[in-house]
Amino acid sequence: MTNQDLLQIAEEFGTPVYVYDADSIKSQYEKLTTSFAESTKFFYACKSLTNINILKYVEKLGANLDCVSINEVKLGLKAGFSAERILFTPNCVDLAEIEEAMALNVHINIDNISILEQFGTKYGDSYPVFLRINPHIFAGGNYKISTGHIDSKFGISIHQMRHIERVMKSTNLNIEGLHMHTGSEIKDPEVFLQGLEIMFELSESFPNLKYIDMGSGFKVPYQKGELETDVKALGKKVEKAVAQFKKETGKEFELWFEPGKYLVSKSGHFLVKSNVIKQTTATVFVGVNSGFNHLIRPMFYDSYHVIENLTNPKGTERIYTVVGNICETDTFAWDRKLHEVREGDILVFRNAGAYGFEMSSNFNSRLKPAEVLFLDGKAHLIRKREEFDDLLKNQIEVL
């Protein structure tokens, strides 16, 4: 997909608009499948982008699905994933939501002692489950996306193994899988190997173990100079570690990973229009027709997105601060060098496929943008831009 394609999409569908390049998703998935052993399975972490068309496309590629809410599970089933290809890993939900997932016959991952006890007492060994372990590994590009440290709300601490064993013994609970996820944007592949060694040690306590799920956190580069996780090198190291474990113990299991951002981030291009150029005593602002109601990552995670001027790619480079149209401080980029921006120019935010539209809102009563899938050389509208009536859709007037 070229910049000209993006400009044509902006012309046809208007802005703001999210555009996803199907070829990019396919390329990222193939990097994974060719880097790890055939016994390794990949579960797309759909919280990163749940448009039904993206789910259908990922399913056709052969991926499985990682879900964190019961509605993601239902979306996955609607998109064509069979129940055995779906893993449900909720956090801080009640037993009723777990039971709803049981009725759909998907894999279930339990991440706290309270629900583990309730589940075991009520169902015993009638429904095998996974355990999400907190390995107490601090990893990830930002504290907010680090999920395996000692103060994380995610998972059951490795220091609670005696409690887990007591629940298993008293309820006859059948644990078929172990799961951990230490965070996102992990630069050091050794983090995965460290986690894998912890899983190997824990596996001795689970005689029915079939699966080890290492979560994900594979890094994608957001700016020049950053590196992507070397999945080929990681695949070789993991395969060696698994082979050594099998040789020493005679045990075998399927290894799972849950790529989300890694699959869809680079595929996404967020197109906006420059509304106004505003100069103060020290700063030149580019005010665009979007805000953190559409792309919250820079404000929430201090994340960096490359921004380019598609309309004037050869203009003189100048320094701008790019801001949104929300009545809050919604700065996308401070002091960013861009080709001269004029009112009406189309700008693109790169690497916007993951947690872009997915985290959007109607803050300030502004409307959510459209989504477009670029597939086989053609742009397909896969979500209409919201209209005013959508703001009132579920409101009930009593006055």
Distance of CA 282 to the CA centre of its chain: 37
Q: Which two tokens stand for residue 222?
A: 């957001």
Rounded to two decimals, the pTM is: 0.93
Q: What angle do CA 7, 222, 288 make, to 5 degrees?
A: 45
The CATH fold assigned to 268-352+369-385 is Lyase, Ornithine Decarboxylase; Chain A, domain 1 (2.40.37)
Of 46, 67, 92, 327, which residue is the catalytic one? Answer: 327
Q: Is 217 annotated as a binding residue?
A: yes
Q: Which two tokens stand for residue 251?
A: 């045990």
Instruction: Check if 46 is active-site.
Output: no
Q: Which two tokens stand for residue 40?
A: 């390794």
Q: Is 355 annotated as a binding residue?
A: yes
For the chain, which residues make up each domain, given as ranges? Answer: 22-263, 268-352+369-385
Q: Is 29 annotated as a binding residue?
A: no
Per-position pLDDT tens, the chain of length 399? 999 999 999 999 999 999 999 999 999 999 999 999 988 999 999 999 999 999 999 999 999 999 999 999 999 999 999 999 999 999 999 999 999 999 999 999 999 999 999 999 999 999 999 999 998 875 444 444 444 446 678 899 989 999 999 999 999 999 999 999 876 566 677 888 888 999 999 999 999 999 999 998 888 989 888 888 899 999 999 999 999 999 999 998 999 999 999 999 999 999 999 999 999 999 999 999 999 999 999 999 999 999 999 999 999 999 999 999 999 989 999 999 999 999 999 999 999 999 999 999 999 999 999 999 999 999 999 999 999 999 999 999 999
Q: Please give the sequence-ordered ranges of beta strands (E in DSSP) within the chain, or none if there are none.
A: 17-21, 41-45, 64-67, 86-88, 107-110, 129-134, 156-157, 175-179, 211-213, 254-257, 268-279, 284-288, 307-309, 317-323, 331-339, 346-349, 370-375, 378-383
CA 114 – CA 96 distance, rounded (Å): 13
CATH number of 22-263: 3.20.20.10
CA 54 – CA 81 distance, rounded (Å): 12
Main-chain dihedrals φ then ψ at residue 323, nearest 5 degrees: -130, 165
